[in-house]
Amino acid sequence: MSERATTPGLDLNWMDRALIAQTYEGRPMTTHHVVDVEAPFDRALLSEALSLLIASVPALRSFVRESPLRVARFVAPSPSTSLHRIITWSDAALDLGDSGWLLRAFDLSSEEPLRVLHSPRRGGGYQLVFTLHHSVTDGVGAVALLDALLSRYRALDGEPAPAPAPFAPSRLSLLRLLSRRGLRLTAAVLAANLRSAGRFGDRRAALLERVDARAEAMHCLVLDLDAAEWSRLHERAVSRGISRNDLLLGTFLRAAASWRRDEGMPEETFRALVPVDLRSELGVGRSLQNHLGVIEADFTASEVDDASLLARVSERLRAGRAPERALATPVAIALLGALLPPFALRWLFRWLDQRPSSFMYSFLFSQIRLPEGLRFPASVRARRVYCLSGLPRQPGIGLTVTASSGGVTAALAYGVPRLSDEGARRLMERWVVALGDA
């Protein structure tokens, strides 16, 4: 794409740049929101809805240019964006893992950071897959974009659908956003980094059968919990004085410990990596880009076995949610991004991820709650929505829980052959048992 075919650049915040730098062979840094439906979307209506969305959101028709000292995102004029590059129509039933879709990388220098797949599902029905490069936005922003696409489709299909609210760009860097909150918080975040500087060299319990293998594909297992079970888990959580999210993470830790023992693995400390949305803490409104913090919660084998595990999970997630702790890793990344040129930052991320002497995280655990106002087109008869994220080598496995008013869908994503399909099935079976015992 030529210089003359672009308009001025879009802002990249600290995490956007880091996610671009973390994009390299074997690590596509993509997010996938999958809508399973009983009837297919109309091709003409979906294409028109997608065109309207791309025209209204400049980041979806952007590309990235890197120089030795900086990285920038530029916008292509809307008429130059070809839907043939973005949307794939398949008449054959596809398995997302076997198809290679989940590990397919973006060439951000020449491709728009958005792909859409529409195909029949194995086992019946159809699937709409909304795939983004993670540098565009985080999970909260991705759900808002999916909502905007579905709203436009509903309007074109003759349903009443309010116009989606616009996205307001956040033009301040993380350090500027922090400084607006005061020097005390900035100092607390920096102190948290100093106290835990050695965490990137830690070795934690892996949920993989072949830790040193290379992921050749990304597969997923999907588990549906109906509204009755979702309500039961809420009641159990309330009776224990914890949140349902605490209960989900605690039971998954118990399943993980049981799985490792059955696999003959030694007892090691688990570290859960839990992303959190920090828009409210940073004073950022409805926006794209990435405004993530991370909770890094450690649990020893004896703690996982203890009857007080769920209370301990609740306590550590609450403590980790404090801005000075949730922002520790993003601030470290922001400082590195400010000091290092793009090629050096990418080298550093690759080195940290591929070191055989460390294994920083046991698994990724995230929960996405669909907004109350999200509505699916009546004509397609939606069954469920679930979300998946591309995974780094460490941890190589992630559980994403997508909640709506009608229930919840949990998706376990993992790299094959680092974890076999049979091994993933045994892990999820143990989680189902742990949920039932909660």
93-127 confidence digits (pLDDT tens): 999 999 999 999 999 999 999 999 999 999 899 99
Helix (H) or strand (E) holding 84: helix 83-86
Q: What angle do CA 262, 263, 269 make, to 5 degrees?
A: 90
Domain regions of the chain by residue span: 3-156, 174-437
Judge if 3-156 and 174-437 fold alike in CATH terms. Answer: yes
At the fourth CATH level, the homologous superfamily of domain 174-437 is Nonribosomal peptide synthetase, condensation domain (3.30.559.30)
- Other C-beta atoms lying within 10 Å of the C-beta of residue 241: 10
Q: Is residue 72 pLDDT above 80, yes or no?
A: yes
Residue type at position 264: G
d(CA 91, CA 298) in angstroms, rounded, equals 46
Count the alpha carbons within 13 Å of 219 in the hemisphere toward its beta carbon.
15
Q: Is residue 7 pLDDT above 60, yes or no?
A: no
What is the crossing angle of helices 328-339 and 342-354, to 10°? 130
pLDDT recorded at residue 173: 59
- Mean pLDDT, rounded, for 411-417: 96
d(CA 250, CA 243) in angstroms, rounded, equals 11
pLDDT recorded at residue 4: 35
Q: Is residue 397 pLDDT above 50, yes or no?
A: yes
What is the crossing angle of helices 342-354 and 14-21, to 10°? 70
d(CA 120, CA 18) in angstroms, rounded, equals 35
Q: How far is CA 313 from the centre of its chain?
A: 21
Q: What angle do CA 382, 147, 93 make, to 5 degrees?
A: 40
d(CA 67, CA 238) in angstroms, rounded, equals 53
Q: Is residue 273 pLDDT above 60, yes or no?
A: yes
Count the alpha carbons within 13 Å of 95 in the hemisphere toward its beta carbon.
10
At the fourth CATH level, the homologous superfamily of domain 3-156 is Chloramphenicol acetyltransferase-like domain (3.30.559.10)
pLDDT recorded at residue 431: 97
Where residue 2 falls among pLDDT bands split at 50, 70, 90? very low
pLDDT recorded at residue 8: 55
- Mean pLDDT, rounded, for 351-358: 78
Do residues 281 and 189 lie in contact, with contact meaning Cβ atoms separated by under 8 Å? no
- Mean pLDDT, rounded, for 215-225: 93
Lowest mean pLDDT across 217-231, 272-286, 337-351, 402-416 = 272-286
| pTM, entire model | 0.90
pLDDT tens digits along 299-319: 999 999 999 999 999 999 999
Where residue 5 falls among pLDDT bands split at 50, 70, 90? very low
Which residues contact residue 302 at a Cβ distance below 8 angstroms, ignoring those fewer than 6 apart? none
Do residues 127 and 37 lie in contact, with contact meaning Cβ atoms separated by under 8 Å? yes
d(CA 382, CA 402) in angstroms, rounded, equals 14
pLDDT tens digits along 10-46: 778 777 888 888 888 788 999 999 999 999 999 999 9
pLDDT recorded at residue 198: 61
Task: Using DSSP bridges, classify how beta strands 407-416 and 114-120 pair: parallel, antiparallel or unpaired.
Answer: unpaired
pLDDT recorded at residue 200: 67
d(CA 152, CA 54) in angstroms, rounded, equals 11
Share of the chain above pLDDT 90, in %: 55
Lowest mean pLDDT across 153-157, 253-257, 394-398 = 394-398
Where residue 175 falls among pLDDT bands split at 50, 70, 90? low
Lowest mean pLDDT across 16-20, 244-248, 370-374, 414-418 = 370-374
Q: Look at the block and give the residue holding tokens 């993530």.
A: 292
Where residue 269 falls among pLDDT bands split at 50, 70, 90? very high
Token output for 77: 């004029």
- Other C-beta atoms lying within 10 Å of the C-beta of residue 80: 10
Share of the chain above pLDDT 70, in %: 90
d(CA 429, CA 30) in angstroms, rounded, equals 27
Give the chain's mean pLDDT: 87
Q: Which has the higher per-residue pLDDT, 78 or 114?
A: 114
pLDDT recorded at residue 6: 45
Do residues 401 and 410 lie in contact, with contact meaning Cβ atoms separated by under 8 Å? yes
Which residues sit opposite 298 in a β-bridge? 271
Q: Which has the higher per-residue pLDDT, 285 or 410?
A: 410
Where residue 423 falls among pLDDT bands split at 50, 70, 90? very high
Q: Which has the higher per-residue pLDDT, 357 or 247?
A: 247
Q: Look at the block and give the residue holding tokens 């880009």.
A: 289
d(CA 64, CA 110) in angstroms, rounded, equals 8
C-alpha closest to that of 290 among 9, 61, 18, 8: 18
pLDDT recorded at residue 252: 98
Which residues contact residue 102 at a Cβ distance below 8 angstroms, ignoring those fewer than 6 apart? 30, 32, 96, 217, 218, 219, 220, 388, 390, 413
Q: Which has the higher per-residue pLDDT, 246 or 188?
A: 246
pLDDT recorded at residue 433: 95
How many H-runs (helices) and E-runs (strands) does the chain carry? 16, 14
Where residue 243 falls among pLDDT bands split at 50, 70, 90? very high
| Integer Rg of the chain from CA | 21
What secondary structure letter does DSSP report for 307?
T
pLDDT recorded at residue 171: 58
Token output for 258: 């049981």
C-alpha closest to that of 282 among 170, 177, 171: 177
pLDDT recorded at residue 193: 66
